[in-house]
Chains A and B, each alone.
Chain A
Amino acid sequence: MADVDEPMAVDGGIGVSGDWDGRWNHVKKFLERPGPFTHPDFEPSTESLQFLLETCKILVIGAGGLGCELLKNLALSGFRHIHVIDMDTIDVSNLNRQFLFRPKDVGRPKADVAADFINSRVPGCKVVPYFKKIQDFDESFYRQFHIIVCGLDSIIARRWMNGMLMSLLIYEDGVLDSSSIIPLIDGGTEGFKGNARVILPGMTACIECTLELYPPQINFPMCTIATMPRLPEHCVEYVRMLQWPKEKPFGDGVALDGDDPEHIQWVFQKSQERASEFNITGVTYRLTQGVVKRIIPAVASTNAVIAAACATEVFKIASSAYIPLNNYLVFNDVDGLYTYTYEAERKENCAACSQVPLNLQFSPSAKLQDVLDYLTENASLQMKSPAITATLEGKNKTLYLQTVASIEERTRPNLCKTLKELGLADGQELAVADITTPQTVLFKLNFT
């Protein structure tokens, strides 16, 4: 390694104000030197570093386990204009891996604390925090970024982000304008497993294309919970779903808060009672909390690996230094270290990126409830609470909407009506909105 008093390892580079000698040596070698494996578009230049430092704008989504690592990685790779969105505040259980936070920060917004830490540890870096939800921003916000990298813990949020970037794509005469593409790098971890993927919206497989990779979370059947518990988990679910609403132990309208130790203690005790009724052993406080909060185990190491892989891809894309990951990396270090890299394929009729209108095949005597069930249960759609509207007699009519109580009540009777009764015609377009996508999805109704 070069020592401080030897000549600069890279010739002719002028330091940006605030930078010290050698600061970017490790990075420069990949920006200023030709090589046999570089991207065909790559041209070594001393200007690339300037682009990263002064111009390139990156958006990091999530300032948690992956987010903290991503911010550090990007800052030390030469990126200075980094924005970060996170709607959460810091919890004690974050501290085993979210290393930008300290015990004194508990309760404060993650985005703010993370930005402060990075900006003070890495001089010149300007992380801009947003203590907000991704849904609080619109296209004009997202359009300003060169690359977006996600460290989310929610599939719904991923799908929303995916949908947002699809909505930014500009097609002219059916041809995609490549300048409207914002690459999306997505990372996810769970215990000792993780994955990282590169999505070029409109060009490579997107989140929706591979929705089957995220099978819907299986909840325990109600009859098991209510009448035939066998596992300690069934007992906890019974208390959470049935006993709490009935007994309202902390008052009317007080919902079960998984972060309130008093609530968990109550659930724990009641779960133990239920368990002993059925001779079930194994209910512990830790198990109780895990079930109530749907806790996923997490460690620093897996987050470090996946965030590093993602940040490497951000660097590759921003600098054209190498051909980016094409396009999905799987990691598992339970037994040795295992990685698998493959090209996830685009789906021809992907709801988000295919530009092909989706068909809904139903008999005219099918009920609207059947359509609703299909939208939520179909593995490729997996909508959460879709709102269905259609143009009837020249007017936009809401057929069913769940998320606003008054509208839900008003439109509920429609669920039992047949599609014919509702006045829908063969070939009719239905517009469906859902939290999984920022844009309405259009379906074409085909009567069978």
Chain B
Amino acid sequence: MAMADGFKEKATKEQKYDRQLRLWGDHGQETLENAHVCLINATASGTEILKNLVLPGIGAFTIVDGHKVSGEDAGNNFFLSSSSIGKNRAQATTELLQELNSDVSGNFVEETPDKLLDNDPEFFHRFSLVIGVQLPESTCLRLGAVLWSADVPFLVCRTYGLVGYMRLVVKEHTVIESHPDNALEDLRLDHPFAELKHHIQSYDLDNMEKKDHCHTPWIIIIAKFLEKWYSENNFQLPKNYKEKEAFRQLIRQGILRNENGVPEDEENFDEAIKNVNTALNPTKISSAVEDILNAERCKNITSQTPVFWVMARGLKEFVENEGGGKLPLRGTIPDMFADSEKFIKLQNVYREKAMQDALIVSKHVESLLQSVGKAPEGISEHDIKLFCKSAAFLRVVCCRSLAEEYSVDSFNKDEITSCMDNPDSEMVLYLMLRSVDRFYQQHSRYPGVYNYQVEEDIAQLKMCVNSLLQEYGLNVNVKDDYIHEFCRYGAAEPHTVASFLGGCAAQEAIKIITHQFVPFNNTFIYNAMAQTSATFQL
């Protein structure tokens, strides 16, 4: 009966997770279910982030929190009740988060992160990702250093009044399946490969039956007319608007006419004309992919080299040899008006060529593995095929460390200064967050928490702002209004802002874990007053 139960369980999970499996697939779900995430501080922001990881079925979470639940906490946190007041916050929230999804394993540690850093920093090494919420600057930097050395991705999140902040810290994050929104097709019309040429030759547009003529895929049509164009234009692709328009006209002339000379309704020709704009773009490798192929990691393959880079090197070998400067063929074509047989035949030409290219890349990968003393079958055909299919969309994200961001010698002065040309840029909110951290360092509290403090803290906070700007030699103007506003916030954590951040952070966490879709790099600011946001690379 255990086996039948296993099937039933799997079927229920497939049903439960159906809507998200359509986004990241079963393999993506598997990485999620094998992940163990650490949340530090179960404030509203923290529990909102975790909620959005527990619901999709993260394998396990561990909450690290030394605080006791306050009346304030119970007021803005959905995963606390008034009966939790006085109890340990890690434990109380774990119970209510665990209750969301029985597939997930919830754990808690009633300890402050500082204590753990003192006594057992290696505690953090076991996690797929550490999410630090509402951390004071000193704790954040300490933790950042430990996680950087251990190569554990770190996501820093805070909600401060109507401002949300996220900072991603990961040395090198590779993405094979980035799932770009508007990808250009890989049709090779500018340089048809031999098999495609051969297939195109099998069509004779001038000697076809009408029903075949009007069911010929537009890819063939463009290819045929391109041949005509080449012979009359010195073998140059139509480049500018004028030439493309002339090319479209050439195609238009190919539309069949009836006895009265009126053009027939040929949808495939209409499609061809519409696609002239994009179909004739020269096949090129994007700069993002070029950077990957030229990266040091790609050049120096050792037995320690991660799979991504071994495959990238295999790709590079292909590009520089058999590929003639081009990536392996993607192998897909868009749907187009055509009869089934013609479309499938054409689709198969692309598919088979893509398979051949992938095989060659496989051979290169096998040699590479052998050359560093590893088993040639160590990387599966399936993975190499996926890599080849995604070749045009590979991405690598490298975030600078917190140490680099904070050091006077290496902080990103240019980015900060140029953004602050507009004094209302979200960058001012970043500077204010850095300033309230200074305030906290000096006064062991945040500004304006109590009503009576608001006015007097404004002057103190302003001094912190000025000392920050001075220390970093930043000649920018931070308007008094923002200083006042940040005192007004009194370090409040309004639920809706925490929830917005919770959605953003959880998705970035899922990107890090699944290696699908592209994470931000590296600082995200949300302004709930104006409902705007910005990403900076600091």
Contacts and interface: CB of A to CB of B under 8 A. Distances in A.
B488 A35 contact: yes
A77 interface: yes
A4 B86 contact: yes
Given A230-B344, A308-B503, A77 B495 contact: yes
A11 B452 contact: yes
Contacts of A123: 81-82
A99 B100 contact: yes
Contacts of B503: 300-306, 308
Contacts of B17: 96
Interface of A: 1-4, 7, 9-11, 20-27, 29-30, 32-37, 69, 72-73, 76-77, 92-93, 95-97, 99, 103, 121-123, 191-192, 196, 224, 228-231, 278-280, 286, 289-290, 295-309, 311-313, 315, 322, 325, 329, 332-337, 339, 341
Interface centre among A22, A23, A29, A224 (most CB of B within 10 A): A29
Contacts of A299: 19-20, 23, 52, 56, 507
Main SS at interface, chain A: loop
A36 B483 CA distance: 10
Contacts of B331: none
Contact of A337 (B70, B82, B524): B524
A337 B517 CA distance: 11
A312 B497 contact: yes
Given A280-B340, A311-B499, A93 B18 contact: yes
Contact of A300 (B18, B56, B517, B521): B56
A29 B19 contact: no
A221 B529 CA distance: 46
Interface in B18-51: 18-23, 44, 48, 51
B146 interface: no
Contacts of B48: 304
B103 to A, nearest CB: 10
Nearest to A19: B75
A121 B496 contact: no
Residue from A191, A296, A337 having most chain B Cβ neighbours under 10 A: A337
Nearest to A34: B488
B75 A308 contact: no
B105 interface: no
B507 A192 contact: yes
Contact of A339 (B22, B337, B533): B533
Contacts of B454: 33
B173 interface: no
Contacts of A315: 494, 496
What are the 10 closest A-B residue pairs judged by CB atoms, nearest first?
A304-B503, A22-B71, A305-B503, A308-B500, A23-B75, A336-B520, A36-B481, A308-B499, A76-B495, A297-B22
A95 B57 CA distance: 11
A119 B524 CA distance: 34
Nearest to B505: A301
A76 B530 contact: no
A51 B68 CA distance: 31
10 contacts: A26-B75, A72-B499, A76-B44, A77-B494, A97-B19, A229-B340, A280-B344, A309-B496, A333-B504, A335-B180
